[in-house]
Amino acid sequence: MISPFLYNAVFFTYALVLTKLLNVPSDVAPWTLVPIAVGNFLGPLVLGRFFDSVGRRTMISGTYIASGVLRLPAPVPPT
């Protein structure tokens, strides 16, 4: 599967992109990974049982739709 490789490519270069391209201070950049790590840990604990009771396809669709809806109010950077 290529998905884990793409995830790792983004996850392990995230701080580099923040510091080099977006000029985030290097002492702050690692802390931006904490919410992602917490979400990766809590996501399966909180949502895992619903994949068994509600169904895999329904939960995958629901989580994609929910993430899209949560993204809507986020500001869009100017071009």
What pLDDT digit, counting tens, does each position of 10-20 carry?
A: 888 888 889 99
More confident of the two residues 76 and 72: 72
Enclosing H/E stretch for 67:
helix 56-71
pTM for the full predicted model: 0.65
- Residues 16-38 pLDDT 10s: 889 998 899 999 988 988 988 89
pLDDT digits (tens, 9 = 90+) for 41-65: 998 899 889 988 999 999 999 989 9
Residue 76, amino acid: V
Beta-sheet strands, E only, within 1-79? none
- C-alpha atoms less than 13 angstroms from C-alpha of 34 in its C-beta half-sphere: 5
Residue type, 48: G
